[in-house]
Amino acid sequence: MRVAVPVFPGSNCDHDALHACGTVMGWDTIPVWHQETRLPENTELVFVPGGFSYGDYLRCGAIAALAPIMADIKRHADNGGLVLGVCNGFQILCEAQLLPGALLRNESLRFIHADVHLRVERADLPFTRAMKAGAVFQVPIAHAEGNFTLDPADLADLEARGGVAFRYCSPRGEIGEDHVPNGAMNGIAGIVNVRGNVLGMMPHPERAVDPKLGPMGGLGMFKSLAEAFARA
Amino acid sequence: MKVRVSVQLKPGILDPQGKAVEQGLHGFGFAVDHVRIGRLIEMDVPGTDPAEVKAKTLAMCDKLLVNPVMEKASIEVL
């Protein structure tokens, strides 16, 4: 299993991604500088990491979406290759129009770091296949712009096609405004494209896979990816 | 030519920054309403024909300056 982690100026979760995929999962994980124009041969997963690419100038992820490596990431996605964007990575995928919507400033206007609970809405994806629909897992968030927004018609389309992968919830899986940390519409924490191969999420599963660092709530996603690749 | 692009959040998009500033102004006794915070981009665009310069600026808005999911822009050629 080969994973590429694109690194932009200002990325700061690239090492978390490299640690989770490389050290914890034992995958062949390669950092790729944003100025590169090709992903490594036989890349199976592109993990677009969190951080503050280009200092969040203009809009979060807007400049990174134009980086030279992005054309090859789009090609990879068009060919059915897997792309996972976390936090700023999610913002970049939205700005690159690989996913719909935009991430606005948190409703509270504050940077929030907290452990949150997510409910699995789609358990049939390569990213979630080892998890159960409706299951709850705990992962950290750390962002100031995670307030997912889409115009009402597109939001209805997204919901109707099952585009919501994860929703913020209570520890017991209850959905409701009280459990949404950032104001995201419909409590959306993560979405997936129509084809099911590009997933973006604000929470950080890669920060919850190493027992030395605390809870392991993110492991289900990595086990899912391992299963998906064992099958491929 | 000097061009000014004013980027605003679309109506209906929540603007927590605008809300915070509005509350701040209320704190000083200013009874203002509907405060919205946007972004102003100024630049020199080559060309002498305002229509052509405006068209170029529109293309820049489409490519980078504006995210149509949440923003709209107005262009002023000075």
Q: What is the ipTM of this complex?
A: 0.81
CA distance between the termini of chain B: 7
Above 70 in pLDDT, residue A174?
A: yes
* Distance, CA of A39 to CA of A156 (rounded, Å): 35
| Phi, psi (degrees; rounded to nearest 5) at A136 | -115, 135
* Residue A231 pLDDT > 80: no
- Give B12's contacts (C-beta < 8 A, 6+ positions apart): none
Q: Does B14 contact A150 at a Cβ distance shorter than 8 Å?
A: no
Give the pLDDT band (50/70/90) at residue A76.
very high
Which of A87, A121, A145, A169 is labelled catalytic?
A87
Of the candidates A226, A223, A197, the one whose C-alpha atom is nearest the C-alpha of residue A209 is: A223
Task: Kindly report each contact of residues B46-55 with a partner whose C-beta sits within 8 Å and lies 24 or more positions away, as own/partner.
Answer: B47/B1, B48/B1, B50/B1, B50/B77, B53/B1, B53/B3, B53/B77, B54/B3
Burial A51-74 (b: 16+ CB within 10 A, else e): bbbbebebbbbbbbbebebbebbb
Q: Are A107 and B16 within 8 A, CB to CB?
A: yes
- Cβ <8 Å between A109 and B70: no
Q: Which of B20, B64, B65 sits opposite A109 (nearest CB)?
A: B20
* Chain A environment of B16 (Cβ under 8 Å): 104-109, 183
Q: How far is A23 from chain B (nearest CA, A)?
A: 37
A209 pLDDT above the threshold of 90? yes
Which of B17, B64, B70 is the closest to A109 by Cβ?
B17
Task: Read off the pTM.
Answer: 0.93
Question: For residue A172, what is the enclosing H or E element?
Answer: none
- Residue B50 clears pLDDT 80, i.e. is over it: yes
